[in-house]
Copies of this chain bind each other. A is one copy, B any other.
Amino acid sequence: MTDPVPDYTGRDGRLELSAPATPEILELVHAMMAHLWTTHEVTAQQRVRFETSVIEILGNIVEHALVGSAPGDGRRFDIVLDVGRDDVVARLGDNGIPVEMDLSKATMPDELAEDGRGLALAKAALDSLSYRRIDGRNLWDLVVLRGGS
């Protein structure tokens, strides 16, 4: 996780959303990804791996935004999405509490577990997932490569 923070501002086709961190916003982020697929040819496998991972990471942000904060207290997030020639990328940022876990240790729980699968699923589905805390913000970078499937 000592790679430089990728800079997405040169990607002209990117979509950027900033919005309240609420459960309802998940549907709008699905609509953004659906928009990406109408303008780029990405395989079904790559789409499902990307969509699932984005929703897992955003779901965690929303969940932790709600913990210990009254509804409507202004917890927000932002997301950048882009399909490049070689990759599909997402960056999620929020000003919530720092994430107290080691991503490299996120593994699939017991098959009968009812939770704890989110990060392991995103790791398994993505070609790269990284978490950083920068300037009081959580930053998640997600990549699916378009090369194979």
- Residues on A facing B (Cβ under 8 Å): 12-20, 22, 24-25, 27-28, 31-32, 35, 38-39, 72-74, 76
Tell whether, in the assembled complex, residue B20 and residue A12 are in contact, meaning their CB atoms are under 8 Å apart: yes
Give Cα A31–Cα B30 distance, bound, in whole angstroms. Answer: 10
**How far, in Å, is A23 (CB) from chain B's closest CB?**
11
Tell whether, in the assembled complex, residue B25 and residue A35 are in contact, meaning their CB atoms are under 8 Å apart: yes
Which chain B residues border A76 with CB–CB below 8 Å? 12
Tell whether, in the assembled complex, residue A19 and residue B15 are in contact, meaning their CB atoms are under 8 Å apart: yes
Nearest B residue (CB) for A19: B15
**How far, in Å, is A120 (CB) from chain B's closest CB?**
30
Tell whether, in the assembled complex, residue A16 and residue B19 are in contact, meaning their CB atoms are under 8 Å apart: yes
Give Cα A25–Cα B31 distance, bound, in whole angstroms. Answer: 11
Which chain B residues border A74 with CB–CB below 8 Å? 12
A12-B20, A14-B19 are known; give 5 further A-B pairs, CB within 8 A. Answer: A15-B17, A16-B17, A16-B18, A17-B17, A24-B38
Tell whether, in the assembled complex, residue A32 and residue B38 are in contact, meaning their CB atoms are under 8 Å apart: no
